[in-house]
Structure 1
C-alpha cells in the first residue's frame, strides 16, 4: 500500500530525519507507517517499512495491554518498548512524540543494551547510527576491547604453547627424543602413589664405547638415536622409556609384572639391537645387557631400591657374558639371587 508522506514532512524534513534519526518511524493517525529510518528498514529484513500497518510489524511490550497507535499515545514523553513480530524478534526502545495537528506519531528508537548483538547480527556500522549517537563511541570501545581480548587470547595461547614446550623440553632427552631421568622419576612416583603394578627395566648398550672410539661421537649419537627407535618399536605407547645416561636406558612397563613375558620381550629387543646400524657408509655393531625387577616383588615399592636392584640385575647380565636378560629376585633373609640367561 502506498502511503503519502504528510506535507508536514517535506523532502527537507525527511532528509533531516534520515540523517539525524536513522532509527525512527512516523505513524499516521490511521496506524500506517509513513516514514522509516534506513537502519530500521535494514534490520526489518523486508526492506522499506513504509505503507505497513504498525500493528503488523511491531508488538508493543511496554506499556503492557496496549497495542498500536493507542499504546504510542499513552507513552508520549516516556519510554516505549517494542519488538518486531518476525524473527529474530529484535527488541527496541524509544521515545514517542506526537504532532496532533498533522495526526502523526514520531518514534525515535534505539537498541538499548542489545546494541552489540544487533551490530553483529545485522552487520551495522557507524553509518547506521546518528552522527552524535553515543552508541558509536560505545562500539569503538567494544571493538577496541574485542581487539584487546583477541590479542590477549593470542598471547595466552603463545604462553601456553611456550609453557608446554618448556615442560616437554624439561622432560625430554634432546638427542633421542625419549624421556629423561626427571620424567622417569615422575612416572615412577605416580605409579607408586596410585598403587599400580609395573616392571622396571634397566638396559645398557654393549660395545658402544668401541663405536665412539672407532667412528667418532657423531656416529655414536646416530647409533644412540637408532637404538632409541628400536626400543620405541618394542614397548607400548603407554610405557615410559628414558635415557638416563650416555648409553643407559630405563623403561617402565605399566600394569605388567609377568617376569617371563618381560624376559621374552627384552630378548627380542636385544636381538633387534644387534642388527648392525649403518652410519655414513660404516657399520656399527652393538648389543645390550638388561636387568629388571617387578614392583610385585616388594611389599612397599621404593624408587631408589628398585633402581638399585635393576642395576644389580643388569651387571649380572654383563658378568654373565653380555647380551643377556636377568631378573632381580630378593630373598627374605636379605640375600639376593638372579634369574637370567642368554638371549
Structure 2
C-alpha cells in the first residue's frame, strides 16, 4: 500500500509557504523594532521560572523575522500559541545556499516533498516541524546518512525553518546528492597477496554478532566471487560491529550484480571496508561509506574506469552512490542517489 507520505504533491497536506516560493512574511525595520520593544517589555513583567534564559535565547539565537512572528503571536494570543508554519528562511529554486568553505556537497530536491524534523509521518508532525520544499530546490549540505523508515538524514550548511534547524529528514527517493568533500582523494591499491577463494579453508576469524568461524578464503556469499579477504584487506580490518558486517554483505550482493552486468568480467577490489584510521590513511572522505562496509572501489578487467562508470551509472540509479576516478570506480549501497567525481 502506498505510504501517503511518499506523495509528490501537497494537495492533501497542510499548506505552509514552501521553500522555493515567495513569502510575504519578511520583517521590515519598523516591525523588527516593534518586536524588540515587545521582548523588552516582557522582561519587565514579574519574573517566571527560566524567563530570563528564555528571553536571552530569543534575542541572541533567533532572526529578526522570528522575533516579529513571536511578537505577533504574543499580541494575538498572549503567547499561548505556537510558531506559525511559514518557513522564514527561503531558498531560490535551482540555486544552492552557500555554507562553510571546503564543502562541495549539495542536495537536489527531485519532487515536491517535506523536510521534517523527525522521521515521523508528516501528518503526525506539527506545522513548524515540517517545511514543504519545491522540486528543483538545492541546498549545500555538510552530512548525509541513511535514516530509519526509508529516510535520509541531512545536515544543512545553513539552518532552515521556524525551528532554525540544520538537521532534517526526507524520503530517499525525493532527493539526490551531488559532489563530495574537497579532501576526498582515496589512493588505496589492491592487496597484492590477498587470500584467494578456495575450498581449503584458511585464515579463520570471528565476526561480531555471529557465533560461527569465518575464513578469509571463503566467499562472502555462498557461490560468490568476492572473498572475506578482499573485504577485510586480507584480514587486517576485521569489522567491529554487526552493522558493518551487514553492510559488507549488502554490497557483496551488489558486486555480484555488477560483475554479471559487466559481462562477468573479473573484478579487482582496490578498497572495501576501512576502519577510521585506515580511511584517513587512504585519503577517504571524513564520513566515507567504506567505514560502514557498504562501499567498494574496484577495477573491471578490460575496461577503463570511465567505461565502467558510463555503463553502471544509469543502471545503479537511486540504489546508492557512484563515483568516477581515472584509476577505479566507486559504488556504495547507501539507498539513495549520490554522484561525484574525484577529480583525478
Smaller-chain TM-score bracket: under 0.3
Question: Which gives a bigger RCO, structure 1 or 2 (Cα 8 Å, sep 6+)?
Answer: 2
Tell me the TM-score normalised to structure 1 length: 0.17
Query: Which is higher, the Rg of structure 1 or of structure 2?
Result: 1
Q: Which has the higher helix share?
A: 1
